[in-house]
Structure 1
Amino acid sequence: MPRLTDARKELRRAQITEAAVRCFGRNGLERTSITDITAESGLSTGSIYAHFRNKAEIVQATARATLAQRAEVLGEYARDDNPPDPDELLARMTSVIDPVEARFGVQIWGEATTNPAIGAIVVDMIDRLRAMVRDCVASWLVKAEGHEPAEAREKAAPIAHRVLALYLAELLRIALPGEGEL
């Protein structure tokens, strides 16, 4: 059997983590099995286990992949010649929240309270998101408001904290079932 290239391995891992997010969002972390992820991904069980030792590794990889997607978008905002102001940044961030990913994110937060490995990922994820939002806000303060970079970073920190808190609140709101969906 031919060996997979590194690029092909990454594509397979992405295929598995994307399927896992859908399963976790639909069934919950506890009720999702490797069999569910296998069926959702269209891969064999052997292929799943060739990339991940167990469900816990899939959960961790999925949490990291979700952060990477957010990081890419926030990085684009910060590098833009006309970075968004904090209100527009929040509007952009919340407008692209996927309900399935939101449900997965909230479940990961719950798991973080009792699982140290997941807890470390969540803390790192929130710290990194806050830093990225701070960079976006600092970029806006420099480019649109004319602040010096050092002053902008200092002023951006509390603003980023509030923007991220509102983003996480909206993520939770979207994750919760609407009226009549319980």
Structure 2
Amino acid sequence: MPRLTDARKELRRAQIAEAAVRCFDRNGLERTSIADITAESGLSAGSIYTHYRNKADLVQATAREVLAKRAEVLGEYAASDTPPGPDELLARLIAAIDPAEARVGVQTWGEATTDPVIRGIVVDMIDQMRAMLLDCVTAWLVKVEHQEPAAARERATPIAHRVSALYQAELLYTALRSPTQETAL
């Protein structure tokens, strides 16, 4: 049997993670089994276990994949000659919310209250997101508002915290909307 290339491995991991998100969205995090993900992905259990040790590892990978999407966009915003201000930044983040990812995210937050492994994943993801938001707001204050970098960083900290909190509130709001409400928007 030929060995998988690194590119093929990444595609396979993405295929599994996407199937997991669909299963988590449909069945809930707790009620989704590796067998469900196997059926959804069309791959063997062995293939899934080749890429992920267990369901917690898969949850972490799906969370990282969602965060990576946000990181790419936030990095572009921060590198821009005219980064968006906090209101525009929040509006762009909200516009990019995927309802299924929001539902899985909220389920993950719920699991984090009782599962220390999941809690570690959630805290890490929130901390990384907040750091990226801090970089964006700092870049806006420096490049658009023409503040000194040190002062901008200090001023950006509470602003980034508020943007993060409002973004999380929108994730929750999106997760709680029914599919009928989603199509009406």
Give the TM-score normalised by structure 2.
Answer: 0.92
Encode CA deviations 1:1-45: one digit per residue, 9 max, x unaligned: 111122211211111011111111121111212222122212222
Matches within 5 A, 1:11-160: 11-160=11-160
Q: Secondary structure at the residue paired with 1:145?
A: coil
Deviations 1:147-167 (A, max 9, x none): 011111111000000010000
Distance in 2 of aligned mates of 1:72 and 1:118: 24
Does the 8 A contact of 2:28 with 2:107 survive in 1?
Answer: yes
- Root mean square deviation, CA, Å: 1.6
CA distance in 2, matches of 1:6, 1:55: 22
**Distance in 1 of aligned mates of 2:66 and 2:147:** 32
Q: Tell me the percent identity.
A: 74
SS of alignment partner, residue 29 of structure 2:
coil
Whole-angstrom CA distance in 2 between matches of 1:148 and 1:112: 38
Q: Which runs of at least 4 in structure 1 moved beyond 3 Å after TM superposition?
A: 177-181
Q: Structure 2: which 5+ runs fail to align?
A: none
Query: For structure 1, which segment, 135-144 or 41-50, has the greater mean C-alpha deviation from structure 2 after superposition?
Result: 41-50
Kindly provide the amino acid, as one letter, of the partner of residue 43 in structure 1. Answer: L
Letter in 1 for 2:15: Q
CA distance 1:169–1:54, shift in 2 (3 Å): same
Tell me, in whole angstroms, the C-alpha distance in 2 between the residues paired with 1:139 and 1:53: 39
d(CA) in 2 for partners of 1:125 and 1:69? 12
Taking the aligned partners of 1:166 and 1:62, their CA distance within structure 2 comes to 22
Amino acid in structure 1 at the alignment position of 2:66: T
Q: Which runs of 5+ in 1 are unaligned?
A: none
TM superposition shift of 1:178: 3.5
When the two structures are superposed, what TM-score results if normalisation uses the length of structure 1? Answer: 0.93
Deviation per CA, 1:103-159: give whole Å up to 9, x if none: 000011111111111111111111111111111011111111110111111110000
CA distance in 2, matches of 1:90, 1:53: 35
C-alpha distance in structure 1 between counterparts of 2:131 and 2:162, whole Å: 12
Residues in 2 aligned to 1:179 and 1:99: alpha-carbon distance in whole angstroms: 9
Deviation of 1:180 after TM superposition, in Å, equals 8.1
